[in-house]
Structure 1
Amino acid sequence: MRLINQGCTVDPRDSDGRTPLFLASLRGNVEIVEALTKVAADVSAARVDGITALHAAAPKNNVAVIRALFDCGADVDAARVDGITALHAAAQENYLGTVMALTQHRCNINARDNDGKTPLFFAAFGGHVELVQLLVGLGAT
């Protein structure tokens, strides 16, 4: 935070388009995520492939980071360029906690990627029976 207090930008990007908030989310560091969002880090900043901090956190099953991002207005339905949302990624990895956090923030449970696949497809394809039951119970088709 000392660098920010000395005037450094909050959202510099590396050669891949990653911001400090993206990297903190990827690494699951909720303290840094919260500190960066307090100084107005851009929660919607995305790499060129559309991957946001929320996408980085979802397949890591870090619900605390996901909730911190939601508290700052992260778009629950942001999609990568291939149409994959955070819910798709969490369903593919069988992360029930992350799926619950995303659905509690009213994500589009039937979002389709560019190939027409839904989070339910990813859960079923992975053999994640409990997650399939959860998604169907929440209205997934």
Structure 2
Amino acid sequence: MKQRRQKKFSQRLFEAILTGDARSTKALLRRGASPDRRNSEGTTPLYLASVQGEAEIARLLMEAGASPDIESSGPGSDGTPLCAAACWGHTETVRQLLAHGADPDFREDQGTGRTPLEWADSGPHPDTAEVLRAAGAQPSRHRPAGTV
């Protein structure tokens, strides 16, 4: 029964994130929804909140124990939360992730992909890139294969 309940809470958590409903997100986390449980495609809640630019929801997830450096997987949702937020120029979400310990130089795709700064610079999202630089992100000396 507990596993069925967790799955139900997880589905509701993803729905709340997709609609930007921080209040429901907070309530679901209080009721026991896992902040790290992936959906059936492999997407993590924090990745979804980050790519959506939901800074408050990202904060709630991390305060409930979601790790800011865990990579998401699945069609169209692979990578780190910080790379996702940086790619779309969600500066406030980037700030929240950094404040909760996200590594500003962590390359996605198990270390073979882009850094958050590379995503922000290619956006281009200069405000987001500046926040990353202020957090210590270093310009890359080499680019992974297949990147521009």
Corresponding residue of 1:42: 34
Corresponding residue of 2:104: 109
| Equivalent-residue separation in structure 2 for 1:94 and 1:29 (angstroms) | 21
Quick check: 1:97 aligned with 2:89? no
| Equivalent-residue separation in structure 1 for 2:125 and 2:37 (angstroms) | 31
Can you give the 5+ residue segments of structure 2 that lack an aligned partner in the other structure?
139-148
Which of 118, 133, 138 does residue 121 from structure 1 map onto?
118
Q: Runs of 4+ in structure 1 displaced over 6 angstroms?
A: none
Percentage identity across paired residues of the two chains: 28
* RMSD of aligned residue pairs (Cα, Å): 2.0
Task: Report how many residues are paired.
Answer: 130
TM-score, with structure 2 as normaliser: 0.79
Corresponding residue of 1:85: 80
Can you give the 5+ residue segments of structure 1 that lack an aligned partner in the other structure?
1-7
After TM superposition, give the deviation of residue 66 of structure 1 in Å.
1.3
| Equivalent-residue separation in structure 2 for 1:64 and 1:81 (angstroms) | 22
Instruction: Tell me if the contact between 1:26 and 1:53 (Cα under 8 Å) persists in the aligned partners.
Output: no
Instruction: Tell me if the contact between 1:49 and 1:80 (Cα under 8 Å) persists in the aligned partners.
Output: no
Deviation string for 1:28-86 (max 9, x for gaps)? Answer: 11111111111111111112443111111112222221121122111111102376111
TM-score, with structure 1 as normaliser: 0.82
Instruction: Tell me if the contact between 1:76 and 1:107 (Cα under 8 Å) persists in the aligned partners.
Output: yes
Corresponding residue of 1:21: 13
